[in-house]
Amino acid sequence: MNTVVTSKEDILKTSRKLIQQQGWSVINIRSVAAACGVSVGSIYNYFDSKAALVCATVESVWCEIFHRPEDGAVFQDTQACIVWMYERMEYGCRQYPRFFTLHSLGFMQEDKTDGKRRMQQTWQHILDGLCSVLKQDARIRADAFTELLTAERFADILFSQMLSALLRQDYDPTAILEIVNRTLY
């Protein structure tokens, strides 16, 4: 894999390919530079350290996994959105084995401030999207949300269940869909 790097995105794309082929331990400035066919200094033009490269790569993996679907209707229907999210989680685990547990969740436990911040931003983006879907879904009962069970709190519950499913590597949304059906419809 000897490609010419022309941008930060090219470097991240190459980093993702390296992870898929050789695993996370291969990601460092020298290996990425070699895979890109550029000097180490070229990588440093975009990333000031290995930690910055790894953090940006993790963020780009999250973005690849949860990119917006071509069918925008997914974000109009809570059930369709949940099914889509579980499918994307499964895709992520196939493409990037142990990504969710080994590196993404590891940021939350270790003292890696930038990685932790980026992970929290990504998770907040997913939570905000899920909350938006809950608020736009025309099929949800008018009285489904209350002062105690707001759309935001329910989105948080759903997201927590999804994170738990990631740890178990359980990509069957049936149980969570049952919760949604009993609570909202």
- pLDDT band, residue 62 (cuts 50/70/90): confident
* CA 81 vs CA 74, 112, 134, 144: distances in Å: 5, 31, 10, 18
pLDDT confidence band for 107 (50 / 70 / 90): low
Predicted confidence band of residue 137 (pLDDT cuts 50, 70, 90):
very high
Q: What is the pLDDT of residue 105?
A: 52
- 133, 75 contact by CB (below 8 A): yes
User: In the prediction, which pLDDT does 11 show?
Assistant: 96
Q: What is the mean pLDDT of the chain?
A: 87
Domains of the chain (ranges; CATH) run 8-60 (1.10.10.60), 66-184 (no CATH)
- Under the banding of pLDDT at 50, 70 and 90, the label for residue 12 is very high
pLDDT surpassing 80 at residue 176: yes
- Local structure of residue 103 (DSSP, 8 states): I
**Whether the predicted pLDDT of 139 surpasses 80:** yes
Confidence of residue 4 (pLDDT cuts 50, 70, 90): low
